[in-house]
Amino acid sequence: MAEIKSEIVDADRRRLLAATASGIAAFGVTSLLPLNASATPDSEAIRPFQVSIPDSDLADLRDRLARTRLPEKETVDDFTQGVPLKTTRQVLDHWQNRYDWRKAEARLNAVPNFITEIDGLDIHFIHVRSKHENALPLIVTHGWPGSIIEQLKIIGPLTDPTAHGGTAEDAFDIVIPSMPGYGFSGKPDGTGWGPERIAVAWITLMRRLGYKQFVAQGGDWGAVVTDMIGVQAPPELLGIHTNMPGAIPIEINNASFVGAPAPSGLSAEEKASYDQLVFFYKNVYYAFLMGTRPQTLTGLSDSPIALATYMLDHDRASLEMIARSFDGKDEGLSPDDVLDNVTLFWLTNTGVSAARLYWENKLAFFAPKGVTVPVAVSVFPDELYQTPRAWAEKAYPNLVHYNKLPRGGHFAAWEQPKFFTDELRAGFRGVRKSG
């Protein structure tokens, strides 16, 4: 288990701020301290945090990788049996011989990290305030098998738009929390931490940071959490953005789940989306396992290559894209990108604790949740399904932005940060003015 160092003594706080100031300055941050970091009760204290993985943990990882026992080659020439042995060998070789966790650690420590207790649980988050006045506060939520690693590429463009092709009017303050059981956040020791409770915690976090208005964004589980923030609709919320909408009409969702023939009356676009859903539901058994037996996945805590292959096999498009990247092709994610995320899971021993979110969830993942606040929707071509505008308009009656992108998949912010950043700027431009 990684050693977590969180310093709250004034002297240590000054040392931490000075040590990271040079890296943070690259993001145009005006202050490391949250807006109301002083005069708060101890239970609501916001503590500066620094990632510091002991050398012994990295040595243990190297030892376990060296002792990996692999299976025989799959009996097919495609991806229908999961991660091919060739890709597994490439991941193992890169992890052992070329990957450097300390580079990822330095990138994490180059932005302001904090921990605060919410509802009895320590919540880790990145918080970067823009140097531009009137920056729009934004909370971004990752999914599974993701982490805060997914969002590192968008911090600079969102908080310092004038250095990344935008204008000062496009600026955001950005908050990126680690979900409970993920990364450096605490692991719940009781039940009840589903998307609804996480949404409540995120609203509490934004209020604790002193924000009177904010917007929210999410993909994968982050999309569900963000939908629930929209359902709860706190008065501070101006709107939400999703790159994996909960927009499938319930009757279509139910039919696709069991693989029934497509309902009559669908447009060509809707029929194509229906076929994508049928395919996805036939290949989502990892979710069923985590949703019913997360504790059985003990091997994710014992074998790094087991953790890696389990995380890589999220969806066919993402797996094939990752496999091409390990073949040396220029893809949305590089081998180091992939291993930054897997290694974070390994060093924090969160393979099983993260999986429990599937067990906790009681919501229909893709179905409409009843969001009535302003919503922006971005549709990436290699997402699990492409949301037709008609479905988005029905699910989100206050749809303020809808756009189809030319490239990108399930991990949109991570794979295509330029497209993703442009979408957030465009999607929130209207609510920014109205707020």
Cα dihedral sign for 21, 22, 25, 27?
Answer: negative
Distance, in Å, from the CA atom of 88 to the CA atom of 311, rounded to the nearest integer, reads 12
* Exposure class string for 200-237: b at 16+ Cβ within 10 A, else e: bbbbbbbebbebeebbbbbbbbbbbbbbbbbbeebeeb
Name the nearest CA neighbour of 119 among 182, 175, 226, 192.
192
Distance, in Å, from the CA atom of 256 to the CA atom of 288, rounded to the nearest integer, reads 16
Residues belonging to the active site: 220, 358, 410
Is-contact 132 157, C-beta < 8 A? Answer: no
Cα separations in angstroms, 166 against 153, 217, 363, 367: 16, 19, 37, 34
Neighbour-count burial of 102, counting CB atoms closer than 10 A to its CB (0-12 exposed, 13-18 middle, 19+ buried): exposed
For residue 96, which phi and psi values (nearest 5 degrees)?
-75, -35
Report how far Cα 20 is from the mean position of its chain's Cα atoms. 24
Distance, in Å, from the CA atom of 343 to the CA atom of 351, rounded to the nearest integer, reads 11
Is-contact 49 184, C-beta < 8 A? Answer: yes
Is-contact 163 28, C-beta < 8 A? Answer: yes
